[in-house]
Amino acid sequence: MKPRLIHQEAMDYSFQAKMILAEGNYDTAQYLFSKAAELESQVAEFYFDKPELEPTRSIVIRSAAFLNLKAGQIEAAQKFIFFGLLNSKDPLIKSQLNDALELSMSFRGLSSEAASSEYNYLNILRLRSINYVMEPSLPAYGHSVSLQMISEFTENYLKSLRAYAISKYKIIVNGAVQLLEAIEKEVDKIINPLVTNSAYGSFKFSIANDFLSRDGEEKEILELKTTIISNYHNEIFINPLSDDDIKNIKKKYHDDDVNEIFRPLSKIKSSNSSYKLAYYDPETYFKVYAPKIVNKQKKQLITVKPISQEDIGELEDSIVHKRTSQTGKISKTTIFKKQLRSYEADVKVNQIEPKGQASIILSEDILVNMNFDSNKGFTFSFADFNVEYTDTEYQSAYSGFQVAFYNKLIRLINSPDLINQDLRDWENIRKLIGNPDVLKK
C-alpha cells in the first residue's frame, strides 16, 4: 500500500467535490466526497497501529472523519472521530473532532444523501459567517452572558439589519410602485440570520444568512440575501462613524432609512449597554471590539422630528378614505384603525429642568430616546449617562426623567470616589456641563 499516493487521490476527489458544490450540485458533490472518503479511510486505517508516526496519524484520521461527514457516511465518520479522540494528543485536532462528533450526532437517522446535504450546507454557511463575541460590561457573574443580554442584542440587531435590507431592496425594485408593508414582509421572509456556531467564553457565536435559491427568486434577490450579513457588518456594524463616514451614509441613504438602521444599532453599541460586542477579523483572527455610538454621532445620524405630548395623544394606526363632493364638502370614512403597541422617537434636549430646582444649561444638545410600550408606558432614556425614567403618562415620564437626570448628576458630583459605571457616566456627562462644581452641596 502506498498511503501517500492514495491520500493524494482522495484530495483530488475532494477538490473536485468542492468545485461542484460551489455550483450548487449537491448530488454530484456527494458522490465525489464518497470516493474521497473511501480512499482516505483506507489510509487512516493503515495508520491505526502506528503511533510512532504522529502527528501524521492524527491529521489523516481527522481528514477521514470530515470526508465521511461530507459524504454523509455518519457511522464511518464516528469510527474515526472516536479513535482520534482516544488517541490524538494534539489539542486543536481533538477540538475539531469534538465539533465533528457534535455534528455527527445531529445527523444520525438521516439518509447519507440528506446528511451530506446538511453538512455541506452548514459548511458553506460557516465559511460565510461573521464571528462575534458577547461579553458582560461588568463581570458581576464572571464571564457569563445572560439570556436578557442575548435577547436585547437579537431584537435590535434584527431591526437594524432588516432596515438595512429594506433600503437595499428598494434599490432593487428601482422605484417600482410597491407598498412599504409588502417590502417589509418580503424582507422578513428572506432575511433570517442563522446561528452557525456557538461556544462559551464569554459567548461566542457565528451568524450567516440563508443562500439557497427558492422557486421564482430573482438573481438580484438571491445576491441580496447571500451577501446581506457581510455587507451589513462591513458597511454598518463596524463603521467607526467618523464625520466623513456619517456624511457618506447620509448621502447614500434616505433619512428615514438611516433612522431605522442606526436607532436600534445605537442601543447595541451604547456606552451603558450591559454587554460588549466584539468580532474576529477574518484576516488576522484578532478580536476587535465594535466601536461605541455616542451622543455626538447619534445627533449627526438621527433625524429628529418635532414631537409633543399631543402627537403621542392617540397611539393609533388608521386608514381613512376621503371623498370631496361637487359642492366641496369633504366626507371621511375610517376603513381600518388599530392601537399602536409601541412607538419610538428621539427628543432634543438642551437643558435639564427638574421640578423645584434651577435649570442646568447643557453645552450642546443631547438626544433623549422616547420609547412607548403599551405594557409599560413611556420611557425616556439617555444612554451616555445611563439614566432613564418610565411612567404611564407622557409628560409625567418626561418630567420624571429630568428629575432622575438631575438627582444622578448631584449624586456623582458629591461622591468622593467614583468607580466602574459611575466613573464612566461621569466622564461622559462632564463634557456637557460648563462648571459642575457650583452644584456641589
Residue 218 has pLDDT above 90, yes or no: no
Residue 102 has pLDDT above 70, yes or no: yes
Residue 316 has pLDDT above 70, yes or no: no
Residues of the chain above pLDDT 90, percent? 49
What range does the domain containing 47 cover?
Answer: 3-127
Of 301, 326, 350, the residue at which a domain comes to its end is: 301
Shared domain check, 283 and 145: yes
Shared domain check, 140 and 122: no
Integer angstrom CA distances of residue 260 from 257, 266, 302, 423, 427? 5, 11, 9, 31, 29
Q: For the CA atoms of 288, 289, 295, 297, what is the dihedral angle to 10 degrees?
A: 20
Mean pLDDT on 416-425: 83
Distance in angstroms (rounded) separating the CA atoms of residues 146 and 227: 30
pLDDT-derived band of residue 187, with 50, 70 and 90 as boundaries? confident
Residue 23 has pLDDT above 60, yes or no: yes
Shared domain check, 64 and 118: yes
Shared domain check, 225 and 101: no
Mean pLDDT on 275-290: 89
Q: What is the largest CA-CA distance in the chain?
A: 101
**309 in Cβ contact with 331 (< 8 Å):** no
Residue 269 has pLDDT above 90, yes or no: yes
185 vs 50, residue with greater confidence: 50
Residue 335 has pLDDT above 80, yes or no: no
pLDDT-derived band of residue 185, with 50, 70 and 90 as boundaries? confident
Residue 424 has pLDDT above 70, yes or no: yes
Shared domain check, 237 and 113: no
**Burial of 83 per CB tally in 10 Å (0-12, 13-18, 19+):** buried
Mean pLDDT over the full length of the chain: 87
pLDDT-derived band of residue 306, with 50, 70 and 90 as boundaries? low
Q: 348: Cβ–Cβ under 8 A, 6 or more apart, which residues? A: 304, 365, 366, 367, 368
Integer angstrom CA distances of residue 304 from 3, 34, 176, 301, 347? 69, 60, 28, 9, 7
DSSP 8-state assignment for residue 237: I
Of 275, 301, 327, the residue at which a domain comes to its end is: 301
Distance in angstroms (rounded) separating the CA atoms of residues 40 and 63: 7
pLDDT digits (tens, 9 = 90+) for 58-81: 999 999 999 999 999 999 999 999
pLDDT at residue 314, as a whole number: 46
pLDDT at residue 318, as a whole number: 64
Phi-psi map region of 38: left, alpha, beta (phi>0 left; psi -120 to 50 alpha): alpha
Shared domain check, 135 and 112: no
pLDDT at residue 109, as a whole number: 85
Of 107, 127, 147, the residue at which a domain comes to its end is: 127
Q: For the CA atoms of 161, 164, 165, 168, what is the dihedral angle to 10 degrees?
A: -160
Mean pLDDT on 183-189: 82
Shared domain check, 209 and 112: no
Say if 287 falls within a structural domain.
Answer: yes
Residue 286 has pLDDT above 50, yes or no: yes
DSSP 8-state assignment for residue 356: T
- For residue 277, what are the β-bridge partners? 134
The pTM is what? 0.76
Mean pLDDT on 189-214: 84
Shared domain check, 153 and 75: no
Where helices occur in 302-339 by DSSP H, the ranges are 309-312
Distance in angstroms (rounded) separating the CA atoms of residues 401 and 380: 6
